[in-house]
Chains A and B, each alone.
Chain A
């Protein structure tokens, strides 16, 4: 195994990454690590995953069962996405791992640590610099290219789980494209709640054939799977399924002619840090400067790298451009 190269993170924006601690995490693998194969999983199992992925790419949106090996990460914590990444990663790859859009989230750090320790590949926080992006719950804001692969961690692989929890029955329903109960579910949620009640994990029709679970990416990200440039691979480790959306695939959210799919977007909101008005925002409690007892919910891009890059280029919210942002005061 090759020693881990200098991490790409050192050379990129690191405003929210602790490089000293990262260096410790990404230090050359210890001799103990040599007990394990490149990418942890043995080659036969990797091949099985790659074969299943080929099948998944050939039948977009269709769930393909795979054996799913046990990993040193708990089931439900990203083992599906992890197995895909470990099965396809090559020494020359550059990897980005995000959770909730954030490179420095505890879970992202932990998964990056495992992949990095067992492969020695370079890692990055920049979407554009990565050849593989493994993610949980977000698609990076910057459009990905055709030479990039997006690997999504999936908790529940079957979009019919809302209406049919039995896998045996749901498999039959997919086989017959029998999605009537799901349409009824969607209809009822509109009547009861005035919106399609499913927030994240929004069901989509892929190439007019298979209903697909979009993992808990927010609705904001759903249209960004449609006719995308990149290959998206989905892995559910505990549910033992992989599926795929190849480049230039039709991905259409479930909606009614008279009740359209809506994203979370609110036109009056913009990132309080970089001013972006089109990104997915999450809220953070911010104490008011000088007053430790009061604060407010601050909305910021959940894609931290995107936000950092814009911020570094001098982008600020329109209303605050003149007065400076709270983060300037830090």
Chain B
């Protein structure tokens, strides 16, 4: 006993793995199928794909099943898998305009070209627990689906359904929204965009690196930064220019002919934030300086799947970071206006990994820390002793001075 207290590591981790399986299954209820998770836990699947940076709904559903629904663990599983997958091609730049939208709204105008389309949203749902779901059955699912199918059948399916012009394009045409700087436009058409998985990020970061980092970021972290910004710590005063969710076609160029080929659609959320902080077109400012025309600035958000809070947060942060760099951010600055601070801390997988690593043994470090602590204790004790001695000497001197003073003997 005793001497080898911390041993048996191998056996312990094997048993721990078995126990995890037991805890996942110990309720004894029927196993959830990966298809059920994919279809009915759509938003959890979307979050795992977004933060795992891999668009693979079935694998994301598997990861969620394996991780008992832990969002960060599921995205970590996808990330780890992702790094084993060969990179066959890089897609051609895709524009949100080519999206077939299921939902599309703007808060900046009452009506917009193409109109507002609410689509699948809980925004105006009363948040009451729905007890009917307690007894949901295969039959009730079928009935509900049949009812909705009848509603949908009355609407003609055409190519135009779900196609909308961009609100931002309209604003640019009206001269109220700044164009992206030339450097960023050039970046967009580079053969290989900046890729954080192939290059370590350095600061100041190119905007494509910033957007990639935010798009892979943990929704909670993005939300915290964006929220702190709009509460006043470096606010870009956002208005929601446009938010859309839908199917975005992905194209790659043919390796021989160079022709664009569609390889499929991905479901994505896209958000454009218009900031009331005035900015200018880079070209205009270069030519006209202070007399250049003031415009609104744009922040961009994009995520795999359906995650509006993340897309909005990302767009706000993008705008705040751009404004901070331009020096146009008005009022107080906060952490969310510090590019390095935001980008170094938004990755949920890195943040959770490091925070959790404190569970690893640290007894060598701790022993070393204790040595230094003991020295500090001795140091303080020695100082205190010195102080006390000095005080006593002073007191003694005062006392003897007192007794020598005839005034005290009256």
Q: Which of A180-188, A248-256, A275-283 contacts B (4 or more CB under 8 A)?
A: A275-283
A16 touches B7 (CB 8 A): yes
Closest residue of chain A to B363, judged by CB?
Answer: A282
A199 and B76 CA atoms in complex are apart in Å by: 33
B376 touches A195 (CB 8 A): yes
B83 to chain A: which residues have CB within 8 Å? 41, 45, 69-71
Say whether B28 faces chain A, with CB atoms less than 8 Å apart.
Answer: no
Q: 0/1 per residue, A98-118, Cβ < 8 Å to B?
A: 011110111111100000000
Neighbour of B197 across the interface among A35, A67, A109, CB < 8 A: A67
Q: Which of B10-18, B19-27, B266-274 contacts A (4 or more CB under 8 A)?
A: B10-18
Neighbour of A326 across the interface among B3, B5, B14, B355, CB < 8 A: B3
A21 to chain B: which residues have CB within 8 Å? 10-11, 14
B340 touches A264 (CB 8 A): no
Q: Which of B99-107, B129-137, B367-375 contacts A (4 or more CB under 8 A)?
A: B367-375
A75 touches B372 (CB 8 A): no
- Distance in Å: Cβ of A255 to nearest Cβ of chain B: 14
Q: Which of A143-151, A203-211, A226-234, A284-292 contacts B (4 or more CB under 8 A)?
A: A284-292
Say whether A293 faces chain B, with CB atoms less than 8 Å apart.
Answer: no
At the interface, is chain B mostly helix, strand, loop or mixed?
helix
Say whether B189 faces chain A, with CB atoms less than 8 Å apart.
Answer: no
Say whether A273 faces chain B, with CB atoms less than 8 Å apart.
Answer: yes
Q: Which of B76, B361, B368 has the most CB of A within 10 A?
A: B368
A75 and B347 CA atoms in complex are apart in Å by: 11
Q: How many residues of B contact A (CB 8 A)?
A: 57
CB within 8 Å for A36 and B84 given contacts A104-B8, A280-B364, A284-B5? yes
A284 and B380 CA atoms in complex are apart in Å by: 28
A74 touches B8 (CB 8 A): no
A216 and B349 CA atoms in complex are apart in Å by: 22
A322 and B307 CA atoms in complex are apart in Å by: 71
A284 and B4 CA atoms in complex are apart in Å by: 8
- Distance in Å: Cβ of B368 to nearest Cβ of chain A: 4
B1 to chain A: which residues have CB within 8 Å? 287, 330
B2 touches A326 (CB 8 A): yes
B2 touches A65 (CB 8 A): no
A68 and B353 CA atoms in complex are apart in Å by: 14
B365 to chain A: which residues have CB within 8 Å? 137, 199-201, 216, 218
A264 and B364 CA atoms in complex are apart in Å by: 11
Neighbour of B10 across the interface among A22, A65, A138, CB < 8 A: A22
A282 touches B364 (CB 8 A): yes
Say whether B199 faces chain A, with CB atoms less than 8 Å apart.
Answer: yes
B80 touches A72 (CB 8 A): yes
- A144-186 residues at the B interface, CB under 8 angstroms: 155, 166-168, 171
Neighbour of B6 across the interface among A68, A76, A102, CB < 8 A: A102
CB within 8 Å for A194 and B376 given contacts A238-B354, A240-B200? yes
B200 touches A193 (CB 8 A): no
A200 touches B11 (CB 8 A): no
Say whether B9 faces chain A, with CB atoms less than 8 Å apart.
Answer: yes
Say whether B352 faces chain A, with CB atoms less than 8 Å apart.
Answer: yes
A66 to chain B: which residues have CB within 8 Å? 200
A327 and B4 CA atoms in complex are apart in Å by: 9
A240 and B7 CA atoms in complex are apart in Å by: 32
A67 touches B200 (CB 8 A): yes
A101 touches B364 (CB 8 A): yes
- Distance in Å: Cβ of B133 to nearest Cβ of chain A: 35
A68 to chain B: which residues have CB within 8 Å? 200
Q: Which of B204, B344, B349, B350 has the most CB of A within 10 A?
A: B350
CB within 8 Å for A285 and B361 given contacts A193-B372, A218-B367? no
Say whether A24 faces chain B, with CB atoms less than 8 Å apart.
Answer: yes
A199 touches B372 (CB 8 A): yes
Q: 0/1 per residue, B375-403, Cβ < 8 Å to A?
A: 11011101000000000000000000000
A241 to chain B: which residues have CB within 8 Å? 200
- Distance in Å: Cβ of B178 to nearest Cβ of chain A: 26
Closest residue of chain A to B379, judged by CB?
Answer: A194
CB within 8 Å for A76 and B353 given contacts A65-B200, A240-B200, A283-B367? yes
Say whether B82 faces chain A, with CB atoms less than 8 Å apart.
Answer: yes
A21 and B3 CA atoms in complex are apart in Å by: 20
- Distance in Å: Cβ of B214 to nearest Cβ of chain A: 17
A285 touches B367 (CB 8 A): no
B357 touches A155 (CB 8 A): yes
A241 and B2 CA atoms in complex are apart in Å by: 40
- Distance in Å: Cβ of B80 to nearest Cβ of chain A: 4
Say whether B203 faces chain A, with CB atoms less than 8 Å apart.
Answer: yes
A285 to chain B: which residues have CB within 8 Å? 2, 5
A67 touches B198 (CB 8 A): yes
Closest residue of chain A to B15, judged by CB?
Answer: A21
A47 and B264 CA atoms in complex are apart in Å by: 33
Closest residue of chain B to A108, judged by CB?
Answer: B9
A327 and B1 CA atoms in complex are apart in Å by: 9
Q: 0/1 per residue, B155-183, Cβ < 8 Å to A?
A: 00000000000000000000000000000
Say whether A260 faces chain B, with CB atoms less than 8 Å apart.
Answer: no
A316 to chain B: which residues have CB within 8 Å? none
A70 touches B79 (CB 8 A): yes
Say whether B362 faces chain A, with CB atoms less than 8 Å apart.
Answer: yes
- Distance in Å: Cβ of B386 to nearest Cβ of chain A: 12
B406 to chain A: which residues have CB within 8 Å? none
A302 touches B376 (CB 8 A): no
Say whether B202 faces chain A, with CB atoms less than 8 Å apart.
Answer: yes
**5 shortest A-B CB distances, which residue pairs?**
A194-B379, A75-B353, A76-B354, A65-B200, A76-B357
| Interface CB pairs A-B, < 8 A, 24 | A17-B10, A24-B14, A25-B14, A35-B84, A65-B199, A65-B200, A71-B83, A75-B350, A76-B350, A76-B356, A79-B353, A106-B12, A106-B361, A110-B13, A138-B364, A171-B202, A192-B376, A194-B382, A200-B365, A218-B368, A283-B367, A285-B2, A287-B1, A302-B364
